[in-house]
Amino acid sequence: GQNIDQPTEMTATEGAIVQINCTYQTSGFNGLFWYQQHAGEAPTFLSYNVLDGLEEKGRFSSFLSRSKGYSYLLLKELQMKDSASYLCAVRGSGGYQKVTFGIGTKLQVIP
């Protein structure tokens, strides 16, 4: 099975940088996703890591260490609209490669 841990809530200041951590224990691994979800809406794709290292995409970066079962999402130059839940999700290596989600980290950006 999959076990995914991430902080439930974080607060950061507009313009700052925030790092959201995610640790996982899985029976099989075939990639890690980060999604953003605003209240009442479906998740939107942010990033995908399958190899170790840092993937940068604009203000958002995602890091993966497979040996440590660890990932983080880095948000730079925070904007008020970044207030949302950020979901860490792991794809298994079984036949359907199911994606299992963590509980999500609710980020509040304050002025």
Partner 1 sequence: GAVVSQHPSRVICKSGTSVKIECRSLDFQATTMFWYRQFPKQSLMLMATSNEGSKATYEQGVEKDKFLINHASLTLSTLTVTSAHPEDSSFYICSARDFVGQETQYFGPGTRLLVL
- Nearer to partner 1 by C-beta: 29 or 101? 101
Using the contact rule CB under 8 A, the part of the chain among 12-20, 52-60, 72-80, 99-107 near partner 1 is 99-107
Shortest reach from residue 4's CB to partner 1, in Å = 9
Distance CA 97, CA 73 (A): 22
Residue that has been written with the tokens 């809530």 in this structure: 9
92 binds partner 1 (CB under 8 A): no
Distance CA 104, CA 5 (A): 9
Q: List the x/- string, 40-79, binding to partner 1 by CB under 8 A.
A: xxxxxx--x-x-----------------------------
Residue that has been written with the tokens 């841990």 in this structure: 5
Distance CA 83, CA 88 (A): 16
Distance CA 82, CA 44 (A): 12
Using the contact rule CB under 8 A, the part of the chain among 20-28, 36-44, 56-64, 70-78 near partner 1 is 36-44
| Secondary structure element (H or E) that encloses residue 1, with its range | none
Q: Give the footprint of partner 1 on this chain (CB under 8 A).
A: 31, 33, 35, 40-45, 48, 50, 87, 96-104
